[in-house]
């Protein structure tokens, strides 16, 4: 079976075997990528039109108790200037976001014990009270089932937790011994059970990653059936053990975006900041490969450079005061537009 036939099968059946995914990834050509992207774009447009949902990202703490080997804000990096936003600062970021048109907020942070359940419930409840018409997404890492339940009951709707890699040995290479893939997966199931719309994802081109690992990621995602999948290229951070590892590529990232779109036409699929960092037109390329979400930075300007998971992150300088204007123009340059709504998952056409 040639590659176009494989792609047609994926399009029709929304799944392939592990071996076929490996073939499609390992031996991909520019023609395969263009064909995949054209199908992916068409399906995304059938459901979501040419609207791209913006989510205002608030990076509210860069303290983290974890020590993931790839991440710039890992516990053992002493060169990070650590910060936490107060509840007031978070609400004020939401307020300016709301005025700019955002109806969807993402609170993301390192795993910071300071933000225990009581504190997070207070923040989420305050956001829910002030912005009853907005979607609230959390991205706070691994917590207990009770914690997830309490956060959902406080009014959060969605939760992002990337599985990072669905292959045990690869997970161990990327993380300290104290962390486990089994626990990560359990958290994702717990989040679903608590009622969240769940997002997961992985890095493309992470150190040691093979096509077989990517195929496992796709199969795990099929099993989990999340509403969102965030993927971006791995980019080295100079203060981590992976500082000399090569970055992932925009080509493979957009290729994986197209495959994910064909696996679930309804998926909420961001064109990520990391993709915009390795390629100046990365976010536009992601949308043209079938993505339909962007996550502009809404954090206060003075802390943005301190939330550096990888080097050279875009949108951390003064020019990024209003990413939303910049992204709006970028989307229009490719025939799309920002759609300011909650941006819910659409079950039906
Ligand atoms: N390069 C790219 N992405 C990274 N992340 C963390 N570190 C890096 C890096 N060096 C991603 C992880 C995490 C998300 C918040 O950012 O996948 O889940
Ligand atoms: Fe942030 Fe362009 S999106 S500056």
Q: Looking at residue 303, which CATH number applies to its domain?
A: 3.20.20.70
Q: Is 320 in the pocket of ligand 2 (CB under 6 A)?
A: yes
If you measure from the C-alpha of residue 141 to the centroid of ligand 1, how many angstroms do you get, rounded to a whole number? 12
Whose structure tokens read 């002030």? Answer: 130
Ligand 2 nearest atom to the CA of residue 294, by list position? 3
Low-confidence residues of the chain, pLDDT below 70? 349
If you measure from the C-alpha of residue 61 to the centroid of ligand 2, how many angstroms do you get, rounded to a whole number? 21
Instruction: Show Cβ contacts of residue 19 under 8 Å, excluding neighbours closer than 6 positions.
Output: none
Mutate to test the pocket of ligand 1, among 221, 232, 243 (most ligand atoms within 8 A of CB): 232
Q: Encoding tokens for residue 237?
A: 């951070």
Q: Give me the pLDDT at residue 253, please.
A: 99
Ligand 2 nearest atom to the CA of residue 330, by list position? 2
d(CA 53, CA 269) in angstroms, rounded, equals: 10
Q: Give me the pLDDT at residue 349, please.
A: 67
By C-alpha distance, which of 219, 148, 203, 199 is closest to 171? 203
Residue 132 covered by a domain: yes
Question: Under a CB-based contact definition with an 8 Å cutoff, are residues 105 and 134 in contact?
Answer: yes
Q: Is 326 in the pocket of ligand 2 (CB under 6 A)?
A: yes
Q: 139: annotated binding-site residue?
A: yes
Q: What per-residue string of b and e applies to 237-256 under the rule 16 or more CB within 10 Å gives b?
A: bebbebeebebbebbbbbbb
Residue 332 covered by a domain: yes
Domain count along the chain: 1
DSSP state of 164: B
If you measure from the C-alpha of residue 295 to the centroid of ligand 2, how many angstroms do you get, rounded to a whole number? 10
Q: Give me the pLDDT at residue 141, please.
A: 98
Q: Is 162 in the pocket of ligand 1 (CB under 6 A)?
A: yes
Q: Ligand nearest 315 Cα, by number?
A: 2
The number of residues in the chain equals: 349
If you measure from the C-alpha of residue 109 to the centroid of ligand 1, how many angstroms do you get, rounded to a whole number? 12
Q: Is 327 in the pocket of ligand 2 (CB under 6 A)?
A: yes
Q: At what angle do helices 211-224 and 18-26 cross, to 10 degrees?
A: 130
Q: Is 323 in the pocket of ligand 2 (CB under 6 A)?
A: yes
If you measure from the C-alpha of residue 33 to the centroid of ligand 2, how many angstroms do you get, rounded to a whole number? 26
Q: 158: annotated binding-site residue?
A: no
Question: Under a CB-based contact definition with an 8 Å cutoff, are residues 109 and 82 in contact?
Answer: no
By C-alpha distance, which of 269, 255, 249, 237 is closest to 346? 269
Residue 13 covered by a domain: no
Q: Is 234 in the pocket of ligand 1 (CB under 6 A)?
A: yes
Mutate to test the pocket of ligand 1, among 62, 68, 71 (most ligand atoms within 8 A of CB): 71
Residue 83 covered by a domain: yes
Ligand 2 nearest atom to the CA of residue 323, by list position? 1
Q: Under DSSP, is residue 138 helix (H, G, I), strand (E, B) or coil?
A: strand
Q: Is 70 in the pocket of ligand 1 (CB under 6 A)?
A: yes
Residue 6 covered by a domain: no
Q: 68: annotated binding-site residue?
A: yes
If you measure from the C-alpha of residue 174 to the centroid of ligand 1, how many angstroms do you get, rounded to a whole number? 11
Residue 343 covered by a domain: no
If you measure from the C-alpha of residue 305 to the centroid of ligand 2, how many angstroms do you get, rounded to a whole number? 14
d(CA 175, CA 181) in angstroms, rounded, equals: 9
Domain of residue 104, residue span: 33-338
Q: Ligand nearest 245 Cα, by number?
A: 1
Q: Is 315 in the pocket of ligand 2 (CB under 6 A)?
A: yes
User: Of all protein residues, whose CA lies closest to atom 3 belonging to ligand 2?
Assistant: 323
Residue 249 covered by a domain: yes
Q: Is 315 in the pocket of ligand 1 (CB under 6 A)?
A: no
- The rounded Cα 58 to chain-centroid distance in angstroms is 13
Residue 181 covered by a domain: yes
Please give the mean pLDDT across all residues of the chain. Answer: 97
């Amino acid at each position: 079976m040639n590659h176009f036939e494989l792609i047609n099968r994926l399009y029709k059946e929304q799944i392939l075997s592990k071996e076929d995914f490996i073939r499609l990834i390992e031996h991909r050509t520019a023609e395969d990528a263009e064909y995949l992207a054209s199908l992916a774009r068409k399906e995304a447009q059938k459901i979501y039109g040419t609207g791209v949902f913006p989510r205002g990202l608030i990076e509210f703490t860069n303290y983290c108790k974890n020590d993931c080997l790839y991440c710039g804000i890992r516990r053992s990096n002493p060169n990070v200037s650590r910060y936490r936003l107060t509840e007031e600062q978070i609400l004020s970021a939401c307020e300016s976001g709301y005025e700019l048109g955002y109806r969807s907020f993402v609170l993301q942070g390192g795993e910071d014990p300071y933000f225990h359940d009581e504190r997070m419930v207070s923040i989420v409840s305050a956001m829910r009270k002030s912005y009853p018409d907005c979607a609230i997404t959390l991205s706070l890492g691994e917590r207990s089932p009770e914690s997830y339940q309490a956060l959902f009951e406080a009014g959060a709707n969605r939760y992002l937790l990337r599985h990072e890699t669905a292959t045990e040995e690869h997970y161990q290479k990327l993380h300290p011994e104290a962390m486990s893939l089994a626990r990560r997966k359990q958290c994702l199931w717990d989040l679903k059970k608590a009622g969240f719309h769940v997002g997961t994802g992985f890095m493309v081109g992470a150190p040691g990653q093979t096509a077989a690992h990517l195929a496992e990621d796709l199969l795990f995602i099929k099993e989990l059936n999340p509403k969102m999948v965030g993927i971006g290229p791995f980019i080295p951070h100079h203060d981590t053990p992976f500082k000399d590892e090569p970055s992932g590529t925009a080509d493979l990232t957009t290729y994986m975006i197209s495959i994910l779109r064909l696996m679930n036409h309804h998926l909420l699929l961001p064109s990520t900041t990391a993709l915009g960092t390795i390629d100046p037109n990365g976010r536009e390329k992601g949308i043209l490969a079938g993505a339909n979400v962007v996550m502009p930075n809404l954090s206060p300007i003075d802390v943005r450079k301190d939330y550096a998971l990888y080097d050279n992150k875009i949108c951390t300088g003064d020019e990024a005061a209003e990413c939303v204007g910049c992204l709006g123009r970028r989307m229009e340059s490719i025939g799309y537009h920002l759609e300011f709504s909650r941006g819910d998952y659409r079950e039906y056409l």
